[in-house]
Homo-oligomer: A and B are copies of this chain.
Amino acid sequence: MAKLLECALNFSEGQREEVIQAIVAAAQGVRVLDVSSDKDHNRTVVTFVGSLQAAAAAAVQVTAKAVELIDMNAHHGAHPRMGAVDVIPFVPLGQATMEEAVAAARRVGQQLGEDLGIPVYLYEEAATRPERRNLADVRKGEYEGLAQKLADPAWAPDFGPVHPHPTAGATAVGARIYLLAYNVNLGTPDVEVAKAIARAVRAKTGGLQYVKALGVMLHERNQAQVTMNVVDPFRTPLYRVLELVRLEAARYGVPVVGTEIIGLVPLTLLVEAARYYLQLEGFRDDQVLETRLWEA
């Protein structure tokens, strides 16, 4: 299999269809696999796959267009954000290595900083210091707190100017393994319940290893949501995350009304969920018919 990079670029527009499409259309030479927009988050994740070179180039193209069309001074949304393009993670697929994904992240970061005048923080596997690995820490203060953050020597950007881009803020660029973006929608309009559940299930505050979670309000649906990243879903499986959320929600008499997997998900994660719920014995991933039809 070839050396491929997957890029799950997050930009800060989730409401205006024509803006979203224009930004996505800027990606050249890669296969766009998914576009997931959320009106309440006012955010879109565009997932594309390509060679080491093409994926990096497309990330820059998309960012340039987003910078042109998005004014962060007018941006409101339920999800934390610091930039028009908020985060650009590269995931190595096929024969690509993490080192190659990190190299792509550095190249992209440099171009964003030098050519587009955007302050850039490298994060996760590309981080230049341990305290910059975690995206939440990098993004803390969000767009509104950027001027102050960039003025702090401890938070000098890895590339670009030491002041925010006047309309596009700052961008985090990094490399990591596949991360599962998973939301659980609750049968309550009380965002405090979602926040309490998030506190209960996130790793940092006594929940499941590898889980990051926030409670947010979905105004369009008048429902609260636990929005999560499972940073190693091959270790902490989907079903365990959902069932713990369900258990914690039960305390408040709140049901789970639906869930969302954002973007793409490796087959093996769904098979593992099926194994748990169907109580499958000895089921192999390669019992899925299509995996046998697609082999060389």
Q: How far, in Å, is A83 (CB) from chain B's closest CB?
A: 26
Q: Tell me, in angstroms, the Cα distance from A236 to B289 when the chains sit together.
A: 19
Bound Cα distance A270, B293 (Å): 17
Q: Closest CB-CB distance, A158 to chain B, in whole Å?
A: 29
Determine whether the beta carbon of A273 is less than 8 Å from that of B265.
Answer: no
The verdict on A21 contacting chain B, using a C-beta distance below 8 Å, is no
Interface centre among A33, A273, A289 (most CB of B within 10 A): A289
Q: Across the interface, which residues of B come within 8 angstroms of A278, CB to CB?
A: 238-239, 242, 259, 261, 273, 277
Tell me which of B266, B274, B277, B288 contacts A264 (CB under 8 A): B288
Interface centre among A256, A271, A283, A288 (most CB of B within 10 A): A288
CA distance A290 to B293 in the complex (A): 12
A266 CB → nearest B CB, Å: 5
Does any Cβ of B come within 8 Å of A260's Cβ?
yes
Say yes or no: B34 contacts A287, CB within 8 Å.
Answer: yes
Instruction: Report whether A292 and B49 are in contact in the complex, using a CB–CB cutoff of 8 Å.
Output: yes
Q: Mark A249-280, 1 if CB is under 8 A from B, else 0.
A: 00000001111110111110011011001111
Q: Which single residue of chain B is at the shortest CB-CB distance from A270?
A: B274
* Residues on B with beta carbons closer than 8 Å to the beta carbon of A31: 292
Given A260-B282, A271-B270, A294-B294: A289 and B277 interface contact (C-beta under 8 Å): no
Shortest CB-to-CB span from A29 to chain B, Å, is: 16
Q: Judge whether A227 is part of the interface by a CB distance below 8 angstroms.
A: no
- Judge whether A281 is part of the interface by a CB distance below 8 angstroms: yes
- How far, in Å, is A180 (CB) from chain B's closest CB? 11
Chain B residues contacting A282 (CB-CB under 8 Å) are: 260
Q: Which residues of B contact A261 (CB under 8 A)?
A: 278, 280, 283, 287
**20 sampled A-B residue pairs with Cβ under 8 A:** A6-B289, A33-B289, A33-B292, A49-B292, A49-B293, A93-B293, A94-B293, A185-B281, A242-B278, A258-B279, A259-B279, A260-B280, A260-B281, A260-B282, A261-B278, A264-B289, A265-B287, A265-B289, A290-B290, A290-B291
Binding site for B on A (CB under 8 A): 4, 6, 31, 33-34, 49, 93-94, 185, 238-239, 242, 256-261, 263-267, 270-271, 273-274, 277-283, 287-294
Which 7 interchain pairs have the tightest Cβ spacing? A277-B277, A258-B281, A294-B294, A264-B289, A270-B274, A33-B292, A267-B290
Q: A265-B288, A273-B278 are in contact. List 10 more A-B contacts (CB 8 A).
A: A49-B293, A185-B281, A239-B278, A261-B280, A264-B289, A264-B292, A266-B288, A273-B274, A274-B274, A290-B290
